[in-house]
Amino acid sequence: MGEPGTKEILSLDELEAAGNLRTGRKHILSILVENKPGVLTRIAGLFARRGFNIDTLAVGPTDDEAFSRITLTLDGAVHPIDQVTKQLHKLVNVLKIRDLEPQETLARELALFKVSADGVSRAEVMQVCEIFRGKIVDVTKRSVVVEVTGTCDKIDAFEQLVRPFGLIEMARTGEIAISRGRGET
């Protein structure tokens, strides 16, 4: 790639190739932070500056009210993930960061699906819902709202199955995660 200040003309293809490398490996980061204003902005800003796209993000309280936990998932893209975790550690309000290993981690997400369901299709939607251990939380003459929890893959699968019935809307929380066993995440 061309160096700044030199004359070399860059092709758009080159630029795009450099910007779009995705390794496809998903990371779940669990970040324990001080419960202070602006913390989320600092973290999100850091990812943006390093060229990471955050896929999902969930923030909530922990057992200690002084701290919050941020769970985010992202693609370990162009830059090695450890550079971004080191940068995160430098944020004064960040206490702990774990790049969670999938096999040692329980990850769950909650999703709400609003699906078209009139007379004919309703039974079928309810059947799919049952298989996924979803809950119908709202019913009208022409639609249902289904609540599903599970791993991100399970929710993707549910989405695929109900889409043909007419998926009106979907809302997902993004995954939250905790490590297996007695040890702290």
Q: How far is the CB of 176 from other proteins (least distance, A)?
A: 21
Q: How far is the CB of 104 from other proteins (least distance, A)?
A: 24
**Chain residues that interact with other proteins, rule: CB under 8 A:** 2-7, 33-34, 37-38, 41-42, 45, 49, 83, 86-87, 89-95
Note whether 149 and 158 are within 8 A (CB).
no
Note whether 174 and 58 are within 8 A (CB).
yes
Q: In this complex, which beta carbon is closest to other proteins, that of residue 4 or of residue 24?
A: 4
Q: In this complex, which beta carbon is closest to other proteins, that of residue 56 or of residue 87?
A: 87
Note whether 144 and 136 are within 8 A (CB).
yes
Q: How far is the CB of 185 from other proteins (least distance, A)?
A: 16
Closest CA to 140 of 168, 173, 111: 168
Q: How far is the CB of 79 from other proteins (least distance, A)?
A: 10
Q: In this complex, which beta carbon is closest to other proteins, that of residue 68 or of residue 143?
A: 68
Q: In this complex, which beta carbon is closest to other proteins, that of residue 80 or of residue 164?
A: 80
Task: Assign 156 to helix, strand or coil.
Answer: helix
